[in-house]
Each structure stands twice: as C-alpha cells, then as structure tokens.
Amino acid sequence: MSTIFKRIIDGEIEADIVYEDDLCLAFRDVNPQAPVHILVIPKKEIRSIADLTLEDQSLAGHLLLVVSKIAVELELDSGYRVVANTGVDGGQSVDHLHLHLMGGRQHEWPPG
Ligand code: 5GP
C-alpha cells in the first residue's frame, strides 16, 4: 500500500505543509472544499479509521490534538468541521488515514 500521501511524507511530491512532527504531517488539500482545508495524516501507514488497532491509541488521540492546535493557529475561532471519510461508503479516495480540517465558512448538516 503506497499512496500519494506516503509520497508526500517521503518528500517525493510537494505539498503545502502547515505542521509536522515525529508522528504526523498536516498540509493543505489540493482541492479545497472550504477557505481553510487541511489534511492531517499519520506518518505511519494506516489505511483508515477502520484499520486502527489498540497499538495506535495514542497516535489517534495525537491526530485530534494536532487538529485542535492547527485550528487555533489558523484562528478558526468560530468553529470548524473535522471529517474522516472511511471506506467505500464513506467516500474515502486515498487509502491512508486522514482527517479533513475545514473552516472559514458555515458548514451544513447533514452532509451529502
Ligand atoms: P478522501 O476523499 O480520501 O477523504 O480525501 C482525499 C483528499 O486528498 C481529497 O480532498 C483530495 O483533494 C486530497 N488530495 C488528493 N491528492 C492530493 C495531493 O496530491 N495533494 C494534496 N495536497 N491533496 C490531495
């Protein structure tokens, strides 16, 4: 399983990176669906939320904390949406776990 996101992690493909640490990487979505649209991904190759194991417990929590930290840094003070499309029915198109952080506009509910 080598995805486009793995190639971004490995520096083979450029991305507009907004945050990086030992465990994860965050960069702007190439096809933004909101004024702010960031993808937060683990450096570990995990296909989706459905593939997380107990071993990934702290990593999964870390990803959420990074989302929160980036939202503060980007001054998304009035809120934002976090989405993890999972599997075929979830509309996942890249098989490397990622959290979409979208802000800068009012989001509707339910989503499509
Ligand atoms: P999914 O549909 O799997 O939840 O989301 C995948 C996201 O990755 C999409 O929003 C898509 O625009 C974004 N994406 C796909 N390829 C690239 C890329 O090469 N660079 C960046 N920055 N985003 C990408």
Q: Could you tell me which of 94, 22, 90 has the C-alpha nearest to residue 58?
A: 22
Q: Give the model's pLDDT for residue 1.
A: 55
Nearest to 97 by CA among 47, 31, 23, 24: 47
**b (16+ CB within 10 A) / e for 41-69:** bbbebbbbbeeeeeebeebeebbeebbee
Q: What is the mean pLDDT of residues 60-73?
A: 98
89 alpha carbon, distance to own chain's centre: 18
Confirm whether 107 is a catalytic residue.
no
Pocket test for ligand 1, best of 9, 19, 30 (most atoms within 8 A of CB): 30
Q: Determine the distance separating the centroid of ligand 1 and the alpha carbon of 43, expressed in angstroms.
A: 16
**Cα of 54 from ligand 1 centre, angstroms:** 26
pLDDT reported for residue 88: 98
Residue 45 is encoded by which pair of tokens? Answer: 């190759």
CB 94 within 8 A of CB 48: no
More confident residue, 1 or 84: 84
Mean pLDDT of 6-31: 98
Q: What angle do CA 5, 33, 39 make, to 5 degrees?
A: 30
Query: Which pLDDT tens digit goes with each residue over 35-63?
Result: 999 999 999 999 999 999 999 999 999 99
Residue in the structure block whose two tokens are 């417990």: 57
